[in-house]
Amino acid sequence: MGLEMISLKSPREIEAMRRAGRLTAQARALAGSMIRPGVTTHEIDTAVRRFIESHGAKPSFLGYGGFPGSACISVNEEVIHGIPGPRKLKEGDIVSVDVGAFIGGFHGDCAATYPCGQVSDEAKRLIQVTQQSFWEGMKFARQGCRVSDIGHAVQVYVEANGFSVVRDFVGHGVGARLHEPPEVRNFGPAGHGPRLQPGMTLAVEPMVCAGDWRVKVLSDKWTTVSLDGSLTAHYENSILITEEGPEILTVTEDGAYV
């Protein structure tokens, strides 16, 4: 995809993106703090919506393409796009929360996977590897690198740890629209795609399966699960490419990324 189709943000737009990113990260942290046995995914979703709206913002996902929730809450084998509802979380679950907030004309977008109580060693390692794979990708989120360099680094790290990367869904540009060019894959060879330039804003989001990478979408047309039923994890931040390197936009005021 050509650079001319990619939005390079102005200093004013970057400040607006930082504001949206902080709020989105705070909503993610709120959701994470609520994850414990007995809580329903609807309760978490309601709290996220109230928090975002209390700051004069709108949940980016609510009504997007018809999605009924303010957050995507995905449990265990659910990779992404889990619809909040009456499901009660159980000890040992792992729970991915994906949130977005729109304020000042711009979106923030981030996700993380959290343990519910005590979880298995495999689940802990899956969460850790998924999160670290994002940071491995960040080593290549630099001016002059190509977009595919990020995803290649993610894939190499994930597979070296015995897990697999989802191919059917990818990261993306983010800004005035929730999804903008370019695609940011979490797999594939390095050295392809547009060169990264200061002012690009991207949502980088590794989606990782403990088993095979193949997934399917359930009959609700949203919830996406691992085809083999294996555990999955998701981690995402919105980032800004700068001359000095990547800046994480979805960070709370106290510097938290989860």
- pTM of the entire structure? 0.97
- Alpha helices, DSSP H only, in the chain? 11-34, 41-54, 121-138, 147-160
- What is the pLDDT tens value at each position of the chain, 258 positions in all? 444 589 999 999 999 999 999 999 999 999 999 999 999 999 999 999 999 999 999 999 999 999 999 999 999 999 999 999 999 999 999 999 999 999 999 999 999 999 999 999 999 999 999 999 999 999 999 999 999 999 999 999 999 999 999 999 999 999 999 999 999 999 999 999 999 999 999 999 999 999 999 999 999 999 999 999 999 999 999 999 999 999 999 999 999 888
Query: Strand, coil or helix: what is 240?
Result: strand
For residue 94, the cross-strand partners are 115
The amino acid at residue 120 is: S
